[in-house]
Each structure stands twice: as structure tokens, then as C-alpha cells.
Chain A
Amino acid sequence: MDKLISKDLLGIKNLSIDEINLIFETADKFKEVLQRPIKKVPSLRHMTIANVFFENSTRTKLSFEIAQKRLSADIINFSSSVSSVKKGESLLDTINNILVMKVDMIVMRHPNPGAPHFIAKNINAAVINAGDGTHEHPTQALLDSYTIKEKLGDLKNKKVAIIGDIYHSRVAISNIYALQKLGAKVMLCGPTTLIPKYIHSLGVLIENNIENALKWCDVANVLRLQLERQQNIFFPSLREYSLYFGINKKILQKINKDIIIMHPGPINRGIEINSDVADSSNSLILDQVENGVAVRMAVMYLLSLNKV
């Protein structure tokens, strides 16, 4: 296999193991490019990519943007907060107006699950899902798995606990698919109210006790409490959440086990994770950000091969 089957990357669910491994192998090559004095290749100089963000983003948007610049693509950035969407323009109209300016690829974030899928069906340009509501965030899952693989060599039979706000997390769903496809065992840990009712059907273990989860796992991927999505009250107070589900040095010393700590960011320091853990030598949080650029370069490069 030398290129991706689909013209789009909408989720991990429909990606094959071979495709994931191809993305990882290509990301290895781009990681080497990023170590060079001139960190740029001309591979996408023929392409124009639109970053269409209907929701706030710092890390993902920056990561995509720098990856596009390293690949020599032309970029246009669209943010819904300063656009005609505010005047009532429909999603498809907005995208078609962007495409008519000869755009070849759309990187899209949207608060509604399925929005990138709808767009991908209706346009010829490649679409990359940069997060659709609480559904999927495929490039985050790819870079998470890539980072674990880089650290541990292989994901087969590795135990990964995803801890925190699973209910509102697109990172969790994409991570479950990616990790399981690569042979890892996945446990979800958090308060019952933040774990979706039917998620066990994905073949994951469920745990409500943080200490048990940490004792079980090799890697703890700690998720952010998405307070902006929480219209209902899911737990009594942030203080109580932090007390029962926050990860700090004390609890890690108690279980006395070397665990890799990950977090997709942005971190609520002192709530889901303390600084003494986030900044420790076991933390791969900054490696995730660094690898994100190489993985996104790989995805865009491979999707560009489908456009001959």
C-alpha cells in the first residue's frame, strides 16, 4: 500500500491497519525533515489548503498550519466567528465559496458531529476532519498512537487508560479505534456521569477508580474536562473531581509504577492533572505536540497523492 484508500480522512473507524502504518512510516520521514536546518519540502507546492474552523482551536490549527507550511502548500484560514456564517450562510455554501477559489484540500473543525462527512460527500476536494463535535478527531488519535509507538516500540498488548471526560471527548472515540486496531487494550476511567452509557460495546474496560486504572495501565492518556460543552451538572464540584480523578505525584508514588503520561491539551492544571505530573520526565505531552506536525504532514501528503 502506497497511498490512502479514501480521498478524505474523516475518522479512524474506517481506516485500515495498513493505512495507519503507512501514515506512521511517512510521519517518520517527515520527522527527519523537521530536524533539518531547512525544515521544508516542496511536495505540496501545487496545492492550496483551507483551514476552516467553526470552533476554537489553538494547538490543532497551529499544528496543521505549520505542517502545511513545511509542505510548501498555500494556505487560507477561515474562522466562523469573523465570517458570513454569522450572517446566516449555510455550511455547504460557505465551503463551495471557498472551493471556487481553487482550493484543493479542506481541514475542517465543526461543533456538529458528521459535518465534515456531509461536506466530503458533496465536494471533490479532500477533507480532513480536525474534530467534529463529540464524534472523532482522527489526527489527534494518530499522533497519540504514534507517540506511544515511538516510546514503547509497539502497541500490541499495551494497556492504555483514557482518563477523564469521555462523554464530551472526540479524542477518546478516535483513540479507542486507533489503539484497538494497533492491538492495544483500552480502559476508560472517570465518573460514571462522564462515561457514555453504551461505550462498553466498543470492547473497552470501564473503571471508576483512578487508582485501579493507574495500577492497570502502561499509558495514561488524561483528557481535559470540557466545561464549555457541559450544559448539565456532571459532578458536584471541580474540587471534588480533582480530588477523586485528578492525577498528581502523590497518587503515582503510591502505586509505585512507571506510567507514561499523555494529554491532548489544553491542560486544566490542578484539575485533571497537576503540574508535578504534567511536567515530569514520564510526561509525553510536548512529544505529542511535536509529533502532531509530522503526523499531519504525513496525512496531507498522502491525501495529496490521490489528487493527480
Chain B
Amino acid sequence: MTNKSRLFNEARLEITINRLCHQLIENHNSFSDTVLIGLQPRGIYFLDRIKKILKNILNKEVQSGILDTTFYRDDFRSRTIHRAKETLIPFLVDDKNVVIIDDVLFTGRTVRSAMEGIMNFGRPKKIELLVLVDRKYTRDIPVEPTYCGIKINTITSDRVEVNLAEQGFEKDNIWLIN
């Protein structure tokens, strides 16, 4: 029997993203040397939400891009979906602080491939990682988030389901299924 418990509803998600934005501002001040990179497919939705909030607070647009990691993955032949999505990083990341944004941190392999992808756009000063859900004890490689919405204890067979309004769902909901 599967168990479905809610990690985020719409209100909780809004509060958490707001908190993450303030943490970003604490570390990056005016974002003059910082760029945000959202990972396909769902990290880009959080990127958009974070950008909107930062714009309201800072009164300026933070430089950002989106990255698809398909071509950098080490498991691309064994996954079911192979179709690459759009990458759009219209700037160099030389000497920039790069914040990678994704929805769920699981094995760490996506983030590893994202870092390899980002290096193709220059040599960043620093790379940080922002995730909404950190699944502890499931890492294949040593990758840890700099900013995190929620940490949860999971086993490999558990699943985190992210349903966002941007994907066509009526309301935002993030579920843990085990």
C-alpha cells in the first residue's frame, strides 16, 4: 500500500520560497556578481518564482539562465526520457557566483552534470545549490545544498511528486509517496 503525505501546499510553498529568497539576499547582496541557473524540467519554475520575488525586493532583474543536463548525464541511456530540453544561458559565468536551482535533490547526479554543463560557459567564482526538497541518505555522490526548503528522510524506493500550477495543476502540491 502506498502512503502519500504532503510536504508543501500552496501557502507553505510561498513562505518557503520567500525565506529562500531572503537567504539568497543575505549572501549575495545586490546580485551584481551572481547569476541564477534553473535546471530543466522543474527547476525553471522555481527560478521564475524566485526571480519575481527578488525583483520585488531588490527592484532589479537578477541575471538568470536555464540549463538542461541531458547531454551531461552519465545515465542518459538507461533513463526512460531522452529528449533534451532547452538550454538558454546568454552570458558567460566567468568570475560569477552561480546559484543552481532545482526542485528535488536525490542522488546528486543531476547536480554533478549541471556543474559540468555550467563549466562550459566559463569558470565561475563559486557554485551554490538551492533546492526545495533535500532527500537525505539517498546520495550517490557527495553533493549538498547551500539553501534548502525542507530536508526529509527517505529511502531510495520513496518518491517525491512535484505538482505545480505552471505544469497545469490546479494548485501547488508537493507529495512524498512511500
Contact = CB atoms under 8 A, between A and B. Distances in A.
A2 B83 contact: yes
Given A3-B82, A29-B84, A37-B92, A304 B119 contact: no
B81 interface: yes
Contacts of B92: 37
B68 A29 contact: yes
Nearest to A28: B86
Given A29-B87, A42-B71, A37 B78 contact: no
A32 B88 CA distance: 8
B6 to A, nearest CB: 31
Contacts of A301: 71
Contacts of A41: 71-72, 120
Interface in A39-63: 40-43
B82 A38 contact: no
A200 to B, nearest CB: 38
Nearest to B84: A29
B82 A2 contact: yes
A156 interface: no
Contact of B77 (A26, A40, A307): A307
Contact of A43 (B76, B78, B86): B76
Contacts of A38: 119-121
A29 B67 CA distance: 11
A308 B75 CA distance: 10
B77 A304 contact: yes
Given A36-B121, A40-B120, A41-B71, A29 B86 contact: yes
19 contacts: A2-B80, A2-B81, A3-B82, A25-B83, A26-B84, A29-B68, A29-B85, A29-B86, A32-B88, A36-B89, A37-B92, A37-B121, A38-B120, A43-B71, A43-B72, A43-B76, A302-B82, A305-B76, A305-B77
Given A29-B70, A37-B122, A307-B77, 7 more contacts: A2-B81, A2-B82, A26-B84, A29-B86, A33-B120, A36-B120, A43-B76
